[in-house]
């Protein structure tokens, strides 16, 4: 145990040192996991040792025997010797057994009724419990007439008149046997109007089936002045089809929404990655003496050329830049075109860029290049932060397999410990 504790302390100190020195997050997390593992190992080692035993509690009557795994020390000959000890259930005195049997009879008088009102009017199956008094008493049953009841207490056939049947219950409590005999009266069950009518109809069909040399079974059209209509019963699958349709529709709608959300998220991430590059190009071209419109046109044209040559995939930010040029060519004012650009991009950085451009057009500010250079530095730092965040997320995902392995180890340790503590 002490070795594990020392190891846990060393790993914890290493984790603190890694954090202090600004080491990689993965090293810090790995040291913490090792410290936690060694600490838990020490805890479970202490639990597994257990305490000294002087006695082992027995199970109550009817609970059966139990096997215990214990260690025994014998001075000079045995040390931590494993043994299997069979612990029998608690033995009862003769008086206690008789008390259990008497209470079992009273319990049986209530349990055996099932859904019947009394033993004098049994029209449904009996309930025959195999154990009574919470398992302390076992029961076996015999009937005097197995043409009325089967061995499980179920009524076999409908009765025309009441029948008296003797029931013998053999009750056993730790080798003490007692025969408990009583009578039940099975009575015909009350039939509903529907059951009576259906019985008449079955008799009518049976007589029709007995006709000789008949190619068809003629279904009656009337019984007891009631008109009969017959229809072939088929499996109704309409409800299943409707449920499948609803589930399919819901799945399509849900998947479509999820797909849209996924595409929008990918679009925003892509535009954020391209932002620093766009600002850098604008700043570079403005510094070379181009005006804003010409620089914008040159960046968009270069992108379109690379797209035609299939050198790059579709980039949403550059597509929005091309849209700005199309709007200007179509007669939309520059101010409105750049404002629309910020609105369509729907990202704070692009709205800021559009605001800078619109302000430059309106006021003719000559400090646009300086502002773009500052924005470029901020965008570059933001891009580095996003890259760092993505790396940390990837590192965090790698912790899942380690966590699963730790859980498996804990389960392997906890289960034997729990079994030991039940001694």
The mean-pLDDT minimum among 26-30, 108-112, 184-188, 237-241 falls in 237-241
The answer as to whether 11 is a domain residue is yes
Q: Is residue 181 a contact partner of residue 156, using CB atoms and an 8 Å limit?
A: no
> What percent of the chain is modeled with pLDDT above 70?
82
Q: How confident is the model at residue 179 (pLDDT cuts 50, 70, 90)?
A: very high
User: For residue 59, is pLDDT > 50?
Assistant: yes
Structure confidence at residue 248 (pLDDT): 59
> Which of 67-76, 87-96, 198-207, 391-400 has the highest mean predicted lDDT (pLDDT)?
87-96
Q: Is residue 328 a contact partner of residue 334, using CB atoms and an 8 Å limit?
A: yes
User: For residue 50, is pLDDT > 60?
Assistant: no
Task: Compute the distance between CA of residue 297 and CA of residue 312 in angstroms, rounded to an integer.
Answer: 18
Mean pLDDT of 41-52: 64
The answer as to whether 203 is a domain residue is no
Q: For the segment 211-269, what is each residue's pLDDT rounded down to a tens digit?
A: 777 777 878 888 888 888 887 776 666 566 666 666 656 665 576 678 888 888 888 88
Shared domain for 284 and 393, answered yes or no, is: yes
Provide the residue range defining the domain that includes 41: 2-49
- Structurally, the chain folds into a number of domains equal to 3
Per the prediction, the chain carries an average pLDDT of 80
Q: For the segment 124-169, what is each residue's pLDDT rounded down to a tens digit?
A: 889 999 999 888 899 999 999 888 899 888 888 778 788 999 999 9
Structure confidence at residue 294 (pLDDT): 87
The answer as to whether 59 is a domain residue is no
Shared domain for 280 and 384, answered yes or no, is: yes
The answer as to whether 202 is a domain residue is no
Mean pLDDT of 26-44: 72
The answer as to whether 18 is a domain residue is yes
Between 392 and 277, residue with greater pLDDT? 277
Structure confidence at residue 181 (pLDDT): 93
Write down the pTM of the prediction.
Answer: 0.38
The mean-pLDDT minimum among 205-214, 252-261, 330-339 falls in 252-261
The answer as to whether 301 is a domain residue is yes
Per the structure block, which two tokens stand in for 337?
A: 């075109």
Structure confidence at residue 247 (pLDDT): 67
Shared domain for 277 and 342, answered yes or no, is: yes
User: For residue 170, is pLDDT > 90?
Assistant: yes
User: For residue 341, is pLDDT > 70?
Assistant: yes
Shared domain for 33 and 129, answered yes or no, is: no
Q: How confident is the model at residue 182 (pLDDT cuts 50, 70, 90)?
A: very high
The answer as to whether 76 is a domain residue is no
Q: Give the CA radius of gyration of the chain.
A: 43
Q: What is the dihedral of CA 284, 286, 290, 291, to 10 degrees?
A: 150
Distances (CA, A) of 285 to 288, 335, 356, 408: 5, 20, 16, 60
The answer as to whether 390 is a domain residue is yes
Q: For residue 379, count CB atoms less than 10 angstroms from its CB and return exposed for 0-12, middle for 13-18, buried for 19 or more.
A: buried
Shared domain for 44 and 99, answered yes or no, is: no
Instruction: Classify residue 72 as left (phi > 0), alpha (psi -120 to 50) or beta.
Output: beta
Boundary (domain end) residue, out of 166, 186, 206: 186
């Amino acid at each position: 145990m002490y070795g594990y504790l020392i190891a846990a302390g060393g790993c914890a100190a290493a984790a603190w040192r890694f954090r202090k020195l600004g080491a990689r997050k993965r090293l810090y997390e790995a040291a913490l996991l090792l410290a936690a593992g060694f600490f838990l190992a020490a805890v479970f080692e202490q639990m597994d040792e257990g305490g000294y035993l002087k006695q082992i509690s027995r199970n109550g009557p009817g609970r059966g025997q139990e096997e215990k795994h214990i260690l025994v020390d014998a001075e000079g000959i045995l040390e931590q010797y494993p043994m299997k000890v069979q612990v029998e259930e608690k033995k009862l005195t003769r008086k206690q057994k008789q008390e259990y049997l008497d209470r079992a009879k009273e319990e049986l008088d209530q349990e055996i009724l099932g859904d019947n009102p009394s033993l004098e009017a049994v029209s449904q199956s009996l309930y025959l419990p195999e154990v009574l008094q919470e398992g302390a008493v076992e029961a076996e049953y015999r009937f005097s007439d197995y043409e009325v009841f089967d061995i499980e207490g179920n009524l076999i056939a409908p009765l025309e008149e009441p029948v008296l049947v003797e029931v013998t219950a053999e009750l056993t409590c730790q080798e003490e046997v007692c025969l408990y005999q009583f009578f039940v009266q099975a009575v015909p069950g009350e039939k509903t109007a529907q059951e009576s009518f259906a019985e008449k109809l079955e008799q009518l069909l049976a007589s029709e089936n007995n006709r000789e040399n008949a190619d068809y079974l003629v279904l009656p059209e009337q019984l007891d002045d009631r008109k009969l209509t017959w229809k072939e019963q088929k499996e109704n699958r309409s409800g299943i089809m409707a449920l499948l349709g609803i589930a399919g529709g819901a799945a399509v709608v849900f998947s479509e929404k999820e797909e849209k959300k996924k595409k929008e998220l990918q679009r925003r991430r892509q535009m954020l990655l391209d932002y620093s590059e766009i600002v850098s190009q604008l700043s570079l071209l403005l510094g070379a003496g181009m005006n804003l419109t010409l620089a914008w046109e040159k960046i968009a044209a270069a992108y379109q050329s690379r797209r035609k040559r299939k050198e790059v995939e579709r980039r949403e930010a550059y597509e929005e830049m091309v849209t700005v040029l199309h709007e200007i060519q179509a007669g939309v004012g520059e101010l409105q075109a750049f404002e629309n650009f910020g609105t369509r991009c729907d990202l704070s950085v692009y709205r800021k860029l559009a605001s800078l451009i619109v302000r430059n057009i309106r006021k003719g500010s000559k400090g646009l290049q300086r502002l773009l250079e500052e924005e470029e530095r901020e965008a570059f730092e933001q891009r580095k932060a996003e890259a760092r965040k993505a790396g940390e997320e990837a590192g965090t995902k790698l912790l899942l397999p380690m966590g699963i392995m730790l859980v498996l180890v804990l389960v392997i340790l906890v289960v034997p410990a729990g079994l030991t503590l039940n001694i």
